[in-house]
Amino acid sequence: MRTAAPGTELIHDPTTYDVGPPLDVLDRLRESDGVVWVAEPPAPGFAGGPGYWLILRHADVEGVLKAPATFSSHLGATQVRDPATPEALAYVRRMMLNMDPPEHTRLRRPLQKSFTARAVARLERQIEGHVESILDRTLTGDGGTVDFAKEISADLPLLTLADVLGVPPEDRLLLFDWANRVIGFQDPDYATSATFQPTTGTGMARAAMALRPAPDAEGRMPDPRTREGMPDLYHYAHLLGRQKREDPGSDVMSILMAHGSDDTISVEEFENMFWLFAVAGNETLRNGLPGGMYALLSHPQQQRLLRSDPSLLDRAVEEMLRWWTPVMVFRRTAAEPAVVGGQPIAAGDKVVVSFLSANRDPRVFTHPATFDITRDAREHLVFGYGPHFCLGAHLARVQMRTLFRQLLERTSWLEPAGSPTWLRSSFQRGVKSLPIRWTSS
């Protein structure tokens, strides 16, 4: 029987993250072991699991992610918790995130042209406009307070995602609620998210909302990783896909539904692709933005340096991403016996890579706990590595640079205006509230 390393119970327990991730535990285990066994005891509302190997060092994380034939996304899917039933596993395996080459390559190919630097450049004017509109609305007068997480960083990725996917802007808060329900399933404040009001949306949105599941007697929603747990999202995806097929545009959904291509996808694959974009396309940036802001607030000397030398913005964005690391872990399953960091791993074992630990590895980043905007942090793994490297990485960077550039131009100083509130999640390093005080420039 495998024995869990001391401290790993804190890493696995979502309630730990109410006060922030256990960085000291990750640092200790990365330096002492590099690969550790983590137990999966039952928790309220969640069954226990067999346990998993946690990979903590940067080089080992890269090694796992670049070897899909050995460490599969398909076998057990990519969330740490096992799907509840064989049927649930079979369905999520149709999602690109949970595929290995060559099937993963088949779905990724028609999307790549939508996320190149040239394609994103066409969106930059829209992103500039979205940021201007958000800051015009939230930064009024000579100064004041605003909740950066709720009122600024939550809306930008939704507006941009609506542009990319061809979702009507008035329906964008559906994306907000769906992402909350999936990413925040461990957090009682987010698991039943219902911000969107049907009267403000399109007919597609109202039809989808009619299928929204209700919490059970204990206040719990069905598993959002299943079709049954997100019927409103899947119905909206079906209606949107039909609309894009009948009246295509230049957005990603139109590309996916294009006729006459060897890359044409099935209805189930399309619906799962929409799930992926609606959630993953939102959450990394939505939490990366307030994570970057928190870094500036808690390191005022770095804020002064960035204000005095705006040419550091590109490096600052990479360091914000590294230092914060919005997606903390991802799962693979060993397809064959393997060895990682000297640790033998059996076929069928769950293997979970820690991006948060890898991005603090002193073998790659000098003084990794220090937030330093002069650092070249481009080796961070925030957007993954290997064949599953995030398609939207360039788009996310553009949004971060645009928001922080405009924000710093409009203000002379930013400081905390209250205590932040963190997301209860062992997966996403999320920010639910980040009050800031700003002074106009």
Q: In the structure, what pLDDT confidence band is assigned to residue 30 with cuts at 50, 70 and 90?
A: very high
| Alpha carbon distances (Å) from 1 to 4, 37, 50, 93 | 10, 11, 11, 30
Poorest-confidence range of 72-76, 296-300, 373-377, 389-393?
A: 389-393
Q: State how far the Cα of 160 lies from the Cα of 165, in Å rounded to an integer.
A: 9
Query: Angle formed by the axes of helices 267-298 and 300-308, to 10°?
Result: 100
Q: State how far the Cα of 206 lies from the Cα of 89, in Å rounded to an integer.
A: 29
Q: With contact defined as beta carbons under 8 Å apart, do 291 and 163 qualify?
A: no
Angle among Cα 116, 133, 422 to the nearest 5 degrees reads 80
What is the residue whose two structure tokens read 């002064």?
304
Both tokens assigned to 9: 């119970």
pLDDT at 287: 93
Q: Across-strand partners of 341?
A: none
3-state secondary structure of 240: helix
- Secondary element (H or E) of residue 416: strand 411-416
Q: With contact defined as beta carbons under 8 Å apart, do 181 and 192 qualify?
A: yes
Amino acid (1-letter code) at residue 56: L
Q: What is the CATH number of domain 8-440?
A: 1.10.630.10
pTM assigned to the model: 0.92
One DSSP character per residue, 365-384 reads SSSTTS--TTS--TT--TT-
* pLDDT (average), residues 421-428: 94
pLDDT at 199: 87
pLDDT at 376: 97
What is the residue whose two structure tokens read 């009507």?
168
Contacts of residue 136, Cβ cutoff 8 Å, sequence gap at least 6: none
Q: State how far the Cα of 132 lies from the Cα of 127, in Å rounded to an integer.
A: 9
Amino acid (1-letter code) at residue 320: M
Q: With contact defined as beta carbons under 8 Å apart, do 30 and 353 qualify?
A: no
Instruction: State the DSSP code for 52.
Output: E
Q: State how far the Cα of 427 lies from the Cα of 327, in Å rounded to an integer.
A: 6
Poorest-confidence range of 196-200, 204-208, 270-274?
A: 270-274
Q: With contact defined as beta carbons under 8 Å apart, do 84 and 229 qualify?
A: no
For the chain, what's the residue count? 441
Angle among Cα 32, 33, 36 to the nearest 5 degrees reads 135
Q: With contact defined as beta carbons under 8 Å apart, do 274 and 233 qualify?
A: yes
Q: State how far the Cα of 25 lies from the Cα of 301, in Å rounded to an integer.
A: 27
Number of Cβ atoms within 10 Å of the Cβ of 261: 11
pLDDT digits (tens, 9 = 90+) for 263-287: 566 767 778 788 888 887 788 899 9
Q: In the structure, what pLDDT confidence band is assigned to residue 1 with cuts at 50, 70 and 90?
A: low
pLDDT digits (tens, 9 = 90+) for 285-319: 999 999 999 999 999 999 999 999 999 999 999 99
Q: State how far the Cα of 16 lies from the Cα of 91, in Å rounded to an integer.
A: 31
Q: In the structure, what pLDDT confidence band is assigned to residue 218 with cuts at 50, 70 and 90?
A: confident
What is the residue whose two structure tokens read 């894009």?
244
Please report, for the chain, the start and end positions of each structural domain, with discontinuous segments joined by +. 8-440
pLDDT digits (tens, 9 = 90+) for 52-94: 999 999 999 999 999 999 999 999 999 999 988 898 898 889 8
pLDDT at 179: 85
Q: With contact defined as beta carbons under 8 Å apart, do 153 and 289 qualify?
A: yes
pLDDT at 321: 98
Both tokens assigned to 29: 């285990």
3-state secondary structure of 337: coil
Q: State how far the Cα of 147 lies from the Cα of 418, in Å rounded to an integer.
A: 9
What beta strand segments (E) does 240-391 contain? 329-334, 338-340, 343-345, 350-354
- Residue 160 scores a pLDDT above 60: yes
User: Which of 340, 322, 417 is closest to 379 using CA atoms?
Assistant: 322
Q: State how far the Cα of 143 lies from the Cα of 152, in Å rounded to an integer.
A: 15
Q: State how far the Cα of 90 lies from the Cα of 327, in Å rounded to an integer.
A: 24
Q: State how far the Cα of 56 lies from the Cα of 136, in Å rounded to an integer.
A: 42
Q: With contact defined as beta carbons under 8 Å apart, do 434 and 294 qualify?
A: yes
